[in-house]
């Protein structure tokens, strides 16, 4: 008697670029995958954990979309029904601007069992790896994570709301709209608020630009920074070693002098 294979989908967060930052559970899922559908921001080293699986690239990059979301959804279902266990390997965390929930629901509607393995999101890890805490006692009590561009191609209205707060503001997928984004902070009177742009976080190509609301767009263009990048706006950026008179030095000196 032929054994029936239960169609299964596991959404796996690959982390932010460094292949070592995937979770152990994510590695285990890859090892038992029959098919792996992976994104552009995923390190291909991770595919070595699934030597027997069929690998299908379904990457989407700014201005270079190779697959529409609807096509990816259909690929997930067809491969799961035809091959058993599909791992959908997504950069960062599948539920942080990763459309993972949409893919999960689509698969469930077609009778496919679904599992989720969270991943490390660039929204907090990219600043951390550059020595920038997204929250710190005395500096920031909270943080916003916002997409820079909506599905319609407009700047998110939440950015203007976040600019009025005292929170650290982290913007993903925002470099194409850097001028409009910074305008929201200028309107809120934040011209001199520190800003960092971190490109290719956790990879050998990682780069950072440090400035302020009033000049970060020029710095980004001068240094040729761009996607994929994380924009961090807030006083916490002053802890970075490249920031002039960084806050950490001021605090340490004040403690010593006391």
Q: Which residues are catalytic?
A: 39, 60, 173
Backbone angles phi, psi at 34, to 5 degrees: -95, -35
Reading the block at residue 171, the tokens are 């913007």
3-class state of residue 225 by DSSP: coil
* Helix axes 69-83 and 100-109, enclosed angle (nearest 10): 50
Reading the block at residue 50, the tokens are 């699934």
Radius of gyration (Cα) for the chain, nearest Å? 20
What is the distance between the alpha carbons of residues 76 and 33, in angstroms, rounded to a whole number?
A: 13
What is the distance between the alpha carbons of residues 38 and 79, in angstroms, rounded to a whole number?
A: 13
Nearest residue to 171 via CA among 188, 149, 187? 149
What is the distance between the alpha carbons of residues 91 and 79, in angstroms, rounded to a whole number?
A: 20
């Amino acid at each position: 008697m032929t054994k029936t294979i239960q169609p299964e989908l596991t959404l796996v967060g690959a982390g932010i670029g460094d292949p070592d930052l995937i979770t152990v559970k994510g590695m285990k899922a890859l090892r038992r995958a029959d098919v792996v559908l992976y994104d552009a921001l995923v390190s291909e080293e991770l595919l070595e954990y699934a030597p027997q699986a069929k690998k299908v690239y379904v990457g989407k990059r700014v201005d270079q979309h190779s697959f529409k979301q609807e096509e990816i959804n259909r690929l997930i279902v067809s491969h799961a029904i035809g091959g058993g266990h599909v791992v959908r390997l997504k950069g960062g965390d599948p539920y942080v601007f990763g459309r993972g929930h949409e893919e999960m629901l689509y698969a469930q509607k077609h009778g496919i069992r679904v599992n989720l393995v969270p991943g490390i999101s660039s929204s907090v890890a990219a600043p951390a790896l550059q020595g920038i805490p997204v929250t710190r006692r005395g500096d920031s009590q909270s943080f916003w994570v916002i997409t820079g561009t909506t599905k319609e191609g407009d700047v998110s209205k939440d950015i203007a709301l976040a600019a009025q707060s005292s929170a650290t503001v982290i913007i993903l997928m925002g470099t194409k709209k850097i001028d409009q984004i910074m305008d929201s902070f200028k309107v809120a009177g934040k011209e001199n608020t520190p800003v960092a742009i971190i490109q290719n976080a956790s990879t050998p190509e990682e780069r950072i630009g440090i400035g302020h609301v009033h000049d970060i767009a020029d710095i980004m263009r001068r240094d040729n920074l761009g996607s994929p990048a994380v924009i961090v706006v807030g006083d916490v950026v002053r802890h970075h070693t490249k920031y002039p008179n960084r806050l950490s030095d001021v605090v340490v000196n004040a403690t010593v002098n006391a």
